[in-house]
Amino acid sequence: MREFHIKHIDHSIERDVINKIDNLTKPKGALGRLEELALQISLIQHTLSPELHRPHNVLFAADHGILEEGVSVSPKEVTWQQLSHFSKGGAGINFLCEQHDFKLVLVDAGVDYDIPAGHGIIDMKVRKGTRNFLHEAAMTADELDLCIERGAKIVRDIYAEGCNVISFGEMGSGNTSPSAVWMHLFTGIDLKKCIGAGAGLDSEGVRHKYEVLAKAVANYKGDEKAASKIAWFGGYEMAMALGGMLQAAELGMLIIVDGFIMTSVILAASQLHPEILEYAVFGHQGDESGHKLMLEAMGVKAILHLDLRLGEGSGAVCAYPIIESAVRMINRMDSFRSVNVTKYF
């Protein structure tokens, strides 16, 4: 597997950043989460005047063999149909990226369809969907390595364009199933609490999904290493996003984490490089059952809670104006020393 060199954030300027925030013309702590975000971003960039440049949302798409077991109401063809839809500009993530000035990057990581060239979709296809992890590993170790490298390359190319803030989205019918298994394996939370309705399963559907995933976990024949579990149960789009996140952290970029699936991805990435979490801001707490528990298990809290369950990076992009406000706060507000205002705390 590719080696990443992710540094722990340098806290040597932390006291100076806190002093700057505390001496802005407001009561100490009055801007709450904005102050926390400003501190984190300043430490990531190691400056008292952080900046956000050219935000990108990278959306990876792939299909899943576990869909053969009836664990989702979404048919497999929805994956390629939606990916094509994204390229035409009329989906949920499109208006959000347009609204918040994100560049949307679309990547075919393993869609079970031959997507014609010329639609602005980057072809990184590993295979036409993963294998059914109820019976065998979803991907080989070599395929996992390939996904990680391809995801990392996408981010390196984006970084070269001047981007320093990035979010990741996904499209893949059935991908709440591998996400739930990763959550279970990497937090120890009971599998039942990790499983939700996905795209809209009823109570009987959720019960069936649990039975399939419980059997799949019992059938696991890999070792105890995180990489083996990631490969056995993961999706190609998830593994590429994992590689992208690791590369972003190595480059010192700010990572905005989307919903349940992308939270499970950074959870998995943290099993390989725990330092990655220092570079992550969690955009929103989604509506999928278990997301709140996973965030709590990781010791993090989301910026927004809008009951979203769309994926695509939608929650991360929605949270961006709050992040931008935090940066504007530390850069644009006057200090008590610079204006004729008496400290009032």
pLDDT digits 0-9 by tens, 66-106 = 999 999 888 899 999 999 999 999 999 999 999 999 999 99
Distance CA 151, CA 170 (A): 12
Catalytic residue among 51, 69, 312, 324: 312
Helix boundaries (H) for 64-160: 77-88, 92-99, 141-160
- Return the higher-pLDDT residue of 99 and 341: 99
Is the pTM of the predicted complex or chain greater than 0.75?
yes
Look at residue 342 and tell me whether its pLDDT is greater than 70. Answer: yes
Band of pLDDT at residue 196, cut at 50, 70 and 90: confident
pLDDT for 56: 98
Residues in the chain: 345
Judge whether 168 and 57 are in contact, CB under 8 Å. yes
Residue 337 — very low, low, confident or very high, per pLDDT cuts 50/70/90?
confident
Token pair for residue 175?
A: 């991908």
Given a cut of 70, whether residue 47 has pLDDT beyond it is: yes
**Mean pLDDT value of segment 279-283:** 98
CB atoms within 10 A of CB 159: 19
Which pLDDT score, from 0 to 100, does residue 130 have? 98
Active site residue 77: no
Residue 340 has what pLDDT? 79
